[in-house]
Structure 1
Amino acid sequence: MTDDEFQAAAGQLDALVQEFETLPFPEIREMVFDLLQAVDAIHRESLGRLVGFLRQQGQADLVDRAAEEPVIRLLLLLYDLVPDAELARGEPANFIPLHEIGEAISTSAIIPASMGPVRRARALPFKEAARVEEVPLGAMKAVEVDGVRVLLFNVAGELYAVLSECPGSMAPLHLGNFSSPVLTCPWHNEAYDVRSGERVDGWETPKLNMIPVAVVDGTIQVAVQAPSKAAPSPVS
């Protein structure tokens, strides 16, 4: 695929998403976005494991060199697999403004500006979870956002969020022990690094369900798929 063809495909995707957003049929619209999210989840996990495998095999330099190619870097940015300057400024991790992508990887000639935030198709709004001061250095806080149990962590001043579910099961994690940056499951005694979601012993098992997090005006905001609407509240 040429750069022009990539640009055309990106433009078509944007046009289709905008068209679905205006459909007068809420149920169909939700089904479409659920489909996009399912595809996104599969791609995210598969690509994440591939990049993780290459890094574990001592090929981190290969990943970094590949990321110098604009289209590859865009894909890695979309799935949070390379550093993004936006995160350092507290922008929502679930969105990548195109003008920043253009500055970072010089893709202004490839990605049409009309696309807006690249991940808009996921349609996951950020919701307030807690105040920044409620999660001090080295602490874990359990909250409920729109009916979803979420764990917030402060690791060396950086904030992280995961679903309060043990990977591969529905067992809640909020009763687990947190010794920054490691969370230990109270049910299976498995230890996870909350910065990456991976097991600290290196075993190839399902990872923690990482959640996009942002800090806005002193509040910690997360993007979750809500089964129901409920105000954020502490989990006892």
Structure 2
Amino acid sequence: MKKRLVVLTGAGMSAESGIKTFRDADGLWEGYNVMEVATPEAWHANPVLVQQFYNERRKQVLQAEPNTAHFELAKLEEHFDVYIITQNIDDLHERAGSTQITHLHGIITYAQSDRNSNLLYPIEGDELKMGELCELGSQLRPHVVWFGEAVPEIETAAAICATADVFMLVGTSLAVYPAAGLIDFVPVQTPKYIIDPKIPSVGQYQNVIQIEKSATAGLKEVANLLRENG
């Protein structure tokens, strides 16, 4: 039986594909004030602006390509039962060939009903238009978890982390909750590989191997180690 490898990925995973999916320190995201484009209040105040913002992000995602780190994770499925939990809203893990992915914060290539968030629809092309409605007659919005909204998949992700034989953290600062708390569910004895140019504070955890490199360089190194050691 294959060991279960659980991987939590953040913005650093997609950065080398040219996607800036994270909030800058000054509260701007691609030149926009986060609170004006990524909250339920923003959607109700100015849905046209919010829709425009995510249409631009979607176009950026569709133009991007998976990088070698995405492909390394997909290849590890030959040796491990790989579960990816991602904070990213892009579809690069899917396009690289990974098959078991939990999107904590939604996925930008889908729309959801403004009335019932369980009603999801794939978006054709890169634009979601005002006036496009769900089956309940409500406006479609991006399938993205905004600041101030619950994270529907967090319990699923926590349960997956609790079953990890090997755990990997790639390209995340562990600053955004509740995702940052997922490492607390990983069994104490499980090896934990942390890959990031700036390693987050993980001193309270046991069996941690720190790889202070970018996602592409670090994942190549760790993938080779895992294949050798099992």
TM-score of the alignment, normalized to the shorter chain, above 0.5: no
- Taking structure 2 as the reference length, the TM-score comes to 0.26
- Taking structure 1 as the reference length, the TM-score comes to 0.25
